[in-house]
Structure 1
Amino acid sequence: MFDAVASMAALCGQCRLWRRAAAAAQLHSGVRCLSAKFDYDLLVIGGGSGGLACSKEAALSGKKVAVLDFVEPSPKGTSWGLGGTCVNVGCIPKKLMHHAALLGGAMKDAQKFGWLVPGQFTHDWSTMSEAVQNYIRSLNWGHRVQLNDKNVKFLNHKGTFKDEHSVRAVSKSGKETVLTAENIVIATGGRPKYPSDVPGAAEYGLSSDDLFWLKETPGKTLVVGASYVALECAGFLTGIGLDVSVMVRSIPLRGFDQQMAHLVTDYMESNGTKFLWKCVPTKVERMPKGQLETTWRHLESGQEGKAHFDTVLWAVGRAPETKALNLEKIGVEVNDKTGKVIVAANDATSVPHIYAIGDVAEGRPELTPSAIKAGKLLARRLFNSSTELMNYDNVPTTVFTPLEYGCIGLSEEEAVRRHGEENIEVFHAFYKPLEFTVSERDSSQCYIKVVCFRNSEQKILGLHFNGPNAGEVTQGFSLGIQCGATYSHLMSTVGIHPTCAEEITKLHITKRSGLDATVTGC
């Protein structure tokens, strides 16, 4: 037996570990040995959710895998550990701070439910931020442990393409290493944009990259932008008691259903967030006492406005991290307008053996779960003979504003654009969550609509939900819609009483009818 193992080890001279060669001989696992040409079977550039998922899935197939991840500090010098945007400066800290704001609202409600809340209660930013940041650091460490456990080589290096199979990796100290791989995945994600035409924007302003790592409260804050990042941040900052204004150039939540988006901002306004509509910033200056004087212009009237803030938060979009990769040298095609990597349905770029997944890829939703799934499926196609492609239809998402907004499928506008208004039926309802009754909360913006084909089958094209726990509600319904649910399926579903989600199963009034869509009882 020893001779057989030794012979196999000799044949696999490029394998660096004797143990791998021995295992291949004994178990006939079919895991091939590396060619002499490459250091790795797979090299992933980017340690975010998609890149980590892809690398770990490849390692499960017995492949030799490495991950490069290096965080360039923000203009303000903020940096963080392994895990990408979601873990460090996105989904995780955002949801935790959103929850902190919801707890403040719950304390107000509690008094109506008989809880004796003594005196005034106030929020302490430093306590919250320390707890959130400590949790994030634990996730950073957890990701490193997982990579190590799966024999994935992690390098805290910045990667730049040298050729189609080689990447120059540079450490923080400047030490350079060249790594070669048969397959390379670009998963570098994106970073917040700063307006280049606003003096003082980058010098004095912050982005979401900085907000979640602040040690002290941002104080009176101006949020510039109306993306989900902008509204989510403005929402939880207002919720913990800060004075917050949002400057909106055009429309809120571009790409989302606009009726739902305006209900979200209506709710925010009714709960204390101020909005500067149809305005653009023109200048940011630091005053002698430290505040930031921000000047803006109203797009319709042309009038100028000016106010002082402690913090100006830019949330005007994100740019893909592609410029430093040297993609033009190796011929990877990039969209000149967006800067994103152009990919095929199988995530392949214009260069064989190079792929791109997640936020950096053109036409992909900028959502963590879709990047994770895409990464896993790519690894299975590369190393497990799978042919399954990522399905980007009906991917659910939720905007974690004070009144959450969850959606699946097409907006009403998009359904009409694709199929014509005469072929679309919209069932809708305004409802009041039971939790809002005793506490006497305003439920004017709690609203549901289901967008369907108008034909006899009435297949559901989109579902939109504004209300508490929208993510939890939408997740369940997304399975049905992914399976081709129709309006009749919805009507044959028994709701759970008393819940907000059950109101979806009771929708019976169409927009076309013009009838009052306010829910009045069971």
Structure 2
Amino acid sequence: MQYDVIVIGSGPGGYVAAIRCAQLGLKTAIVEKYNTLGGTCLNVGCIPSKALLDSSEHYHNAAHAFKTHGINLENLTIDFGQMIKRKQQVVDANTSGISYLMKKNKIDTHFGVGSFKDKNTIVVKKSDGTTTEITAKNVIIATGSKPSALPFLPIDKKRVITSTEALSLSEVPKHLVLIGGGVIGLELGSVYARLGAKVSVIEFMDGIIPTMDKGLGRELQKVLTKLGMEFYLGHKVTGATVKGKEVTVSCDTPKGEKLELKGDYCLVAVGRIAYTDGLGLENIGITVEERGRKITVDEHLETKVKGVYAIGDVIKGAMLAHKAEDEGTLVAEIIAGQKPHIDYNLIPGVVYTWPEVAAVGQTEEQLKAAGVKYKTGSFPFKASGRARASGDLDGFVKVLADATTDEILGVHMIGPRAADMIAEAVVAMEYRASAEDISRMSHAHPTYTEAMREACLAATENRAIHI
């Protein structure tokens, strides 16, 4: 069967690319190895983790915050099976929604493992062993990523687990030993900490969420410590052993001493690696970078093979669903002859703990390294009327602006609904707004977003009103 475009992978990058291609009048097919669409994000990533994060936050508030609101509960219990069932219902609703969108946009769906026979021919091997060949002028690789592992630490998927298994446990752990203080680990760690598990975080670096602003990491650690999570920073994991229902994780402390942590589960969350297995890239002369197995592309996200593109987690850059979506749209429009553009500096990053963490643009560390003169304005949520009303007093908004022009260069926030509030910063920076521009915009009162305005006021001649 002949198409204009074949997309391999149906995650956020792949299905968005397919839909945009179809909107532009291109005959499009999508190939997916699993029996549901949506990729990691919808099946074992973004969506199920957010469902559990919300459920665990409801329980935590019922157990610890409702009384201050005058709501008294007795004999509060967790039906963990129902929590997992609801999570799956959320996943199923989302994946079926993607199937509907494929039909609506007249995109052919081929289930099976897709691999290159040549640059225009994809062989789809189905679960029953049969194969189908489809051809296209253009192919978009959108196969995503999978959890990374430590070479000396075998994952049995029962007691030593990845994020995938952590989303479908049959019980709340008594003691979860978490290897990795990044986004994925902290989100899932906070789920189980809220549900009553003891959670110990082992991180090789000297701070958590190390790719984000240092101040955000310090504030998040403070909040999660109040939740009961323990942190072992600067520790190097050396191994793990399983005996029955107990996992013993060994590590070296910053002083070179030996430390052992024992728990009933060990979650390995040390990043993700591009998923390029079985694509047959060697058949068309494409090699992957050794570190991370990434596919090299040019500024148009085209590989060295003309007509073959790659997007999302399989190429360089942050492994974010919304980055993949933007890239899917970009490639579709390039194939259609348009001239789209992505500003990678303005792709926000979010950690969906509570409070949430979000950032866009440059960090102070990056600005200092580049020799850029900047000014900063910060506003704490404890000074926000809306945050005080809801009881969400942890965190702050920090705005970095050019010392001369006042243009906003970076926004970093930790607080209630930061994941939604960061959009204002993205819009502001997309249109190269100054801190004063935002400070002069009316913000509804009382809202969390007033903190953004106050931080901009603080960056503008220290004019914040409420601190």
* One-letter amino acid matched to 2:333: R
Identify the range of structure 1 (59-68 vs 156-165) with the bigger mean alpha-carbon deviation.
59-68
CA contact (8 A) 1:195 1:201 kept: no
Query: Any conservation in 1 of the 2:17–2:325 contact (CA below 8 Å)?
Result: yes
1:368 corresponds in structure 2 to: 321
- Aligned twin of 1:280: 236
Structure 1 residue 410 and structure 2 residue 373: aligned?
Answer: no
Query: Which residue of the partner structure matches residue 334 of structure 2?
Result: 381
Name the aligned partner's letter for residue 419 of structure 1: G
Match of residue 499 from structure 1? 447
**CA shift digits 1:95-147 (9 cap, x unpaired):** 121112222343232211222x2324232221111011122122222222321
Offset, 1:204: 4.1
TM-superposition CA deviations, 1:309-355 (whole Å, max 9, x none): 12111100100011322223312253232311111221111100000
Partner of 2:437: 489
CA contact (8 A) 2:401 2:435 kept: yes
Q: How far apart, in 1, do the equivalents of 2:334 and 2:217 lie?
A: 38
CA contact (8 A) 2:177 2:261 kept: no
Distance across 1 between alignment mates of 2:459 and 2:338: 44
Q: 1:397 to 1:225 in 2, by over 3 A?
A: same
**Residue 306 (structure 2) pairs with residue 357 (structure 1):** no
Alpha-carbon distance between aligned partners in 2 of 1:140 and 1:61, rounded to the nearest angstrom: 23
Secondary structure class of the residue paired with 2:305: coil
Could you tell me which residue of structure 2 aligns to residue 304 of structure 1?
258
Shift of 1:183: 0.6
Amino acid at match of 2:356: E
2:151 aligned with 1:207:
no
Quick one: which amino acid aligns to residue 309 of structure 2? Y
Question: Hey, what does 1:461 align to over in structure 2?
Answer: 409
* 1:64 to partner: Cα distance: 2.4
Offset of residue 266 of structure 1: 1.4
Are positions 1:49 and 2:12 aligned together? yes
- Indicate yes or no: 2:39 matched with 1:87: no
For residues 38-73 of structure 1, the C-alpha deviation after alignment (integer angstroms, 9 at most, x for no partner) is 7221111111111111112222333322111114xx
Counterpart for residue 104 of structure 2: 149
Q: Which residue of 2 aligns with 1:217?
A: 172
C-alpha spacing 1:174/1:52, structure 2 compared with 1 (3 Å): same
Deviations, residues 448-482 of structure 1 (Å, cap 9, x unaligned): 21111111x21100011111111121112321121
Structure-to-structure mapping, 1:39-188, within 5 angstroms? 39-71=2-34, 81-107=36-62, 108-115=64-71, 117-188=72-143
| Cα distance in 1 between the residues matched to 2:78 and 2:157 | 29
Greater shift in the superposed pair: 123-132 or 200-209: 200-209
Normalised by the size of structure 2, how large is the TM-score? Answer: 0.92
Name the structure 2 match of 1:268: 224
Q: Does 1:325 align with 2:279?
A: yes
8 Å Cα contact 1:100-1:240 kept in structure 2: no
Structure 1 residues 440 and 41: CA distance shift in structure 2, 3 A: closer
Contact 1:50 1:374 in 2 (8 A): yes
Alignment of 1:381-400 (within 5 A): 381-383=334-336, 385-400=337-352
Q: What letter matches 2:295 in structure 1? A: V
1:431 is aligned to 381
Cα contact 1:333–1:350 (8 A) shared by 2: no
Return closer, same or farther for 1:440/1:336 CA change in 2, 3 Å cut-off: closer
Q: Give the 3 Å change call, closer, same or farther, for CA 149–317 of structure 1 in structure 2.
A: same
| CA separation of 1:280 and 1:351: change in aligned 2, threshold 3 A | same
The two structures have a TM-score, normalised by structure 1, of 0.83
What is the RMSD computed on CA atoms of the aligned residues? 2.4
Structure 1 residues 82-91 or 493-502, which shifts more? Answer: 493-502
The superposition leaves residues 187-211 of structure 1 with CA deviations (integer Å, 9 ceiling, x where unpaired) of 0000001111235676741111122
- Aligned pairs, number: 463
Q: Which amino acid aligns with 1:303?
A: E
Alignment of 1:347 onto 2:296: no
1:486–1:272 distance in 2 versus 1, CA, 3 Å: same
Q: CA deviation at 1:218?
A: 3.8
Question: Structure 1 residues 100 and 65, CA, compared in 2 at 3 Å: closer, same or farther?
Answer: same
When structure 1 is superposed on structure 2, of 238-247 and 185-194 the one drifting more is 238-247
Letter in 2 for 1:374: E
Structure 2 equivalent of residue 259 of structure 1? 215
Paired AA for residue 145 in structure 1: Y
| Partner SS, residue 132 of structure 1 | helix
Residues in 2 aligned to 1:142 and 1:500: alpha-carbon distance in whole angstroms:
31
**How far is 1:229 from its partner?**
0.5
- Give the letter aligned to residue 352 of structure 2: F
Contact 1:204 1:285 in 2 (8 A): no
Within the alignment, does 1:295 sit opposite 2:250 as a pair?
yes
CA distance in structure 1 between the partners assigned to 2:258 and 2:376 by the alignment: 41
Distance in 2 separating the partners of 1:520 and 1:379 = 47
> Deviation at 1:149?
2.9
Q: 1:146 to 1:438 in 2, by over 3 A?
A: closer
Secondary structure of 1:343's counterpart equals coil
Return 5+ residue gaps in structure 2 as ranges.
none
CA separation of 1:435/1:60 partners in 2, compared to 1, >3 Å: closer, same or farther? closer
* Larger CA deviation: 223-232 vs 272-281: 272-281
Q: 1:520 to 1:106 in 2, by over 3 A?
A: farther
Q: Which amino acid aligns with 2:240?
A: V
Bigger Cα Rg: 1
Question: 1:335 — aligned with what?
Answer: 289
Look up the equivalent residue of 2:362 and give its one-letter code.
L
Counterpart secondary structure, 2:319? coil
Q: Is the 8 A contact 2:154 2:160 kept in 1?
A: no
Stretches of structure 1 lacking an aligned partner (at least 5 in a row): 1-37, 72-79
Asked whether the 8 Å contact 2:47–2:90 carries over to 1, the reply is no
| Residue among 371, 375, 389 paired with 1:419 | 371
Structure-1 separation of matches of 2:169 and 2:157: 17
